[in-house]
Amino acid sequence: MTSPVGLHRVVEPVGVLPQAAWRLDAAREIAPNEVRIRVERLNLDAASFRQLSEKHGGDGEKVRAEVLEIISQRGKMQNPVTGSGGMLIGTVEESGRRSPLGLRSGDRVATLVSLTLTPLVVTDGLARWDGRSEQVPCDGWAILFARSIAAVLPADLDPGLSLAVLDVCGAPALTARVVAEQVARRERDGDPRAVTVAVVGGAGKSGSLSLAAARRAGAGRTVGVVPVAAERDALVAAGLATEVVLADARDPVALSSAVTTALGVPADVTVVCVDVPGCEHGAVLATADGGTVVFFSMATSFAAAALGAEGLAADVTMLVGNGYVPGHAELALDLVRSEPGVRGLFAARLAAG
C-alpha cells in the first residue's frame, strides 16, 4: 500500500515519516499516487550550506563530495548536522494516474517541500557544481508524494531567481499573516500605535521578502538588522525598511539595543532569518511584551528559545516558520515582481553566488 505521505519509501527506521527517516528508497519507478521529477537544480538551504562550507574551510571539492555522500547514503539530501535540506527545480517526467498534485509530464516545477523528505538520486556526480554556492546544477530524479507540494515555474522569471524565491516563500507569507493580525487587533482595540517589525537578517532572501511583506500587511515602522556594512548599504539602497542597523544577532544585548534604539520601543514582531545559531535570546529580548517572535532559520535551537524566554520572563509568542502557508508561492513571487528593492537584492545575491 502506498502512503500519501511517503511511508512506503522509508527504509530505516521503519514507522517514522520520511523527514525523520535516516534513509529513503529513491527507486525510479513510481506508485500510482507519486510523481517523478527530472532534477535540474538543487537549492541547499542557507544553514546547511554554511555548515558544510565552514566545516571544509570553503573547499568546494570537499563540500561537493560530502553532498554526494549524503544523497547516496540517505536517498535524500538532509544535512546530518543541521537536519535541513533545501528544495529543487526540474521537469515532470511521469505523473501517477492517482496523483492529486495536478502536474503533467513536461511541466517545469519547483518543489515546495524540503529535500529532507524527498527521495532523490543524483546521476552526474554534481560535475557542474563547484561546491561554492547554494544552487547546485545537477542531473537525476526525485519523487513527490500525494501530500507533497510543487509549483509550476512562472514563465516571466529566470528559473534561478524563481528557485531562490520559492526556497524561502513561507517566510513572507507567515510574516504577513502575523503582522496583519497585530494590525487588526490594534484597530479593534482602538489602539492608535503603529505595529513595529524587526527582521534579523533583513538583507537576505527570506529577510528582504519578510520586510516587504510586513510593510504590505500594514506595519507602521520596520527595522532591518544586518551584521556588516555592505549589507547595511545594500538594504538602505533597496528602501525596504524604515531603519537599517548593524548588530551581531548572536549578542542578545547588542541586538536588543539596536532594535529598541531604532524603533524607540521593542518590536511588536521580530522575524529571525539568519542562518547562524545563537540568535534566540536576542530576538526574545528585542520583542515587546505581548509581541511575537517568528523563527525561520533552521539554525534555531527551539529549546534555547523556549528556555531563554522563560529565563527572561518574556511574555512573547514564539512561532516556528514551517515553510508552508496557503498561497505562499504566489505571494513571494508577486513581491519579487512588484518590489524593485527585493528583486535587486535577489539579483545581486544570485550574481555573487
**Same domain for 231 and 137:** no
Which residues span the domain enclosing 322? 169-351
40, 222, 228, 286 from 213: Cα distances, Å: 29, 11, 23, 20
Is 161 a domain residue? no
Q: Smallest Cα–Cα separation from 143: which of 113, 102, 107?
A: 113
Integer Rg of the chain from CA: 20
Is 1 a domain residue? no
214 grid coordinates: 510586513
Is 158 a domain residue? no
Q: Are 22 and 16 in contact (CB under 8 A)?
A: no
**Same domain for 231 and 114:** no
In this prediction, residue 2 carries a pLDDT of 86
Give the integer Cα–Cα distance in Å for 19 and 272: 23
303 grid coordinates: 529549546
**Same domain for 288 and 236:** yes
Mark the ranges of the chain whose per-residue pLDDT is less than 50: none
Query: 104-134: string of b/e by CB count within 10 Å (b at 16+)?
Result: eeebbbbbbbbbbbbbbbbeeebeebebebb
Is 258 a domain residue? yes
**Same domain for 131 and 194:** no
One-letter identity of residue 184: A
Q: Smallest Cα–Cα separation from 269: which of 333, 205, 213?
A: 213
- To which H or E segment does residue 173 belong? helix 170-189
Question: Could you give the percent of the chain with pLDDT greater than 70?
Answer: 99
Q: Which of 128, 153, 178 is the last residue of a domain?
A: 153
**Same domain for 299 and 176:** yes
Count of CA atoms in the C-beta half-sphere (13 A) of 309: 21
pLDDT in tens, 147-167: 999 999 999 999 989 988 998
Beta bridge partners of 144: 35
In this prediction, residue 302 carries a pLDDT of 84
55 grid coordinates: 566545516
Q: Smallest Cα–Cα separation from 120: which of 147, 85, 151?
A: 85
Strands (E) across 66-148 are located at 86-95, 108-111, 120-122, 135-144
Phi, psi for 111 (deg, rounded to 5):
-80, 140
**Same domain for 339 and 234:** yes
Give the integer Cα–Cα distance in Å for 50 and 54: 6
Q: Which of 126, 153, 180 is the last residue of a domain?
A: 153
Phi, psi for 212 (deg, rounded to 5):
-65, -40
Q: Are 90 and 39 in contact (CB under 8 A)?
A: yes
Q: Are 275 and 52 in contact (CB under 8 A)?
A: no
**Same domain for 144 and 28:** yes
Tally of structural domains, the chain: 2
pLDDT in tens, 265-310: 999 999 999 988 898 999 999 999 999 999 998 778 888 888 888 8
**Same domain for 147 and 193:** no
Phi, psi for 226 (deg, rounded to 5):
-135, 160
User: What contacts 22, CB < 8 A, 6 or more positions away?
Assistant: 11, 12, 13, 74
Task: Write down the pTM of the prediction.
Answer: 0.85
In this prediction, residue 308 carries a pLDDT of 86
In this prediction, residue 298 carries a pLDDT of 77
**Same domain for 315 and 278:** yes
Is 163 a domain residue? no
CB atoms within 10 A of CB 29: 8
Give the integer Cα–Cα distance in Å for 209 and 266: 21
- The crossing angle, in degrees rounded to 10, of helices 340-352 and 205-216 is 180
Q: Which of 153, 187, 217 is the last residue of a domain?
A: 153
